[in-house]
């Protein structure tokens, strides 16, 4: 499903409570041009690790689908955009990007964007995140993170869509069929650097993918504390939520996704969780290559069924 180039678009920005200036791209659906803002709904779209608001063809496809049914879309940057990024803070700059981010700060970033959208008059706000962006979105909705820096009531969100959130649980990651040894080696190197007081030192990792990160960031995301294992805060999410995974993810060897659908169904049963839906997209990988129409239709069908 192609990106809807006919929609009105503009570059926008907001500022987080800790002073970072973030940018995004806002599009109003052609179907909502004559509608009051308070009667429209806006979807905030959150990128994955080292991503940004403009370079994901997957999120372009999803955005185009939402625009086509009359929803407005705001694709946002978090402080984890790109590998290394510099953000304006007052008269200076702050270094971040995926190499230096702490995941819980993603909730602070999302809070700033939700607050900005509310100030524009939107009363119906939805959130969709992919991969690490899905983890950040669930953290925000579950009120996980620096509470002193949060001022937006996440319960005002109407819907939440989580596309392929990885399970960041250390024991699970150690069980990876192909990359267990790479994970162990990366974790040991990161821990040694942190023990030496070198948490901001960059090093090259192989797990979960080849990239450069700081030792402190690696421990934060993938370390033994497992702060961001979504199973640990499933019970805190009261928002109607669609979880989606590619078939090749949940039936594949990667431990962060393997049988995620089955584990979620069991967890929801034990928690008595409500308003949680799950879709496994046949033939889908992490980027939903070749099956994006199926994914988009699933998102739209669920969205329209939860009005």
For residue 17, the SS3 value is coil
Could you tell me the CA-to-CA distances from 207 to 36, 117, 176, 181 in Å, in that order?
47, 36, 10, 9
Residue-averaged pLDDT of the chain? 92
Q: Determine which of 86-90, 113-117, 151-155, 258-262 has the lowest per-residue pLDDT on average.
A: 151-155
- List pLDDT tens digits, range 157-183: 999 999 999 999 999 999 999 999 999
- List pLDDT tens digits, range 211-222: 999 999 999 999
User: Rounded to whole angstroms, how far apart are CA atoms 282 and 68?
Assistant: 23
**pTM score, whole prediction:** 0.94
Whether the predicted pLDDT of 1 surpasses 50: no
Grade residue 307 by pLDDT with cuts at 50, 70 and 90. Answer: confident
Of residues 82, 62, 157, the one with CA closest to residue 113: 157
Whether the predicted pLDDT of 3 surpasses 80: no
Residue 179: predicted pLDDT:
94
Whether the predicted pLDDT of 187 surpasses 50: yes
User: Rounded to whole angstroms, how far apart are CA atoms 263 and 175?
Assistant: 15
For residue 33, the SS3 value is coil
Q: Report the pLDDT averaged over residues 47-64.
A: 95
């Amino acid at each position: 499903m192609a990106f809807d180039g006919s929609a009105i678009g503009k570059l926008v920005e907001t500022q987080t409570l800790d002073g970072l200036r973030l940018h995004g791209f806002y599009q109003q659906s052609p179907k909502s041009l004559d509608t009051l803002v308070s009667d429209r709904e806006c979807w905030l779209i959150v990128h994955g690790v080292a991503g940004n608001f403009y370079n994901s063809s997957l999120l372009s496809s999803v955005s185009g689908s939402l625009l086509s049914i009359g929803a407005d879309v705001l694709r946002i940057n978090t402080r984890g955009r790109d590998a290394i990024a510099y953000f304006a803070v007052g008269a200076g700059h702050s270094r971040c990007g995926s190499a230096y981010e702490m995941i819980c700060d993603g909730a602070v970033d999302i809070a700033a964007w939700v607050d900005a959208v509310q100030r524009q008059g939107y009363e119906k706000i939805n959130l969709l995140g992919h991969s690490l962006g899905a983890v950040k979105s669930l953290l925000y909705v579950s009120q996980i993170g620096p509470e002193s820096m949060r001022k937006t009531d996440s319960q005002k969100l109407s819907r939440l869509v989580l596309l392929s959130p990885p399970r960041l649980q250390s024991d699970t990651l150690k069980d990876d069929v192909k990359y267990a040894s790479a994970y162990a080696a990366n974790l040991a190197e990161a821990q040694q650097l942190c023990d030496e007081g070198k948490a901001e030192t960059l090093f090259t990792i192989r797990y979960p993918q080849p990239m450069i990160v700081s030792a402190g960031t690696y421990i934060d995301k993938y370390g033994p504390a497992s702060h961001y294992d979504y199973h640990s805060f499933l019970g805190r999410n009261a928002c109607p939520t669609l979880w989606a995974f590619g078939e090749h993810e949940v039936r594949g060897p990667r431990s962060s996704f393997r049988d995620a659908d089955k584990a979620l169904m069991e967890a929801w049963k034990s928690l008595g969780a409500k308003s949680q839906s799950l879709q496994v997209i046949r033939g889908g990988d992490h980027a939903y290559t070749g099956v994006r129409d199926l994914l988009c239709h699933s998102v739209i069908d669920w969205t329209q069924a939860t009005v």
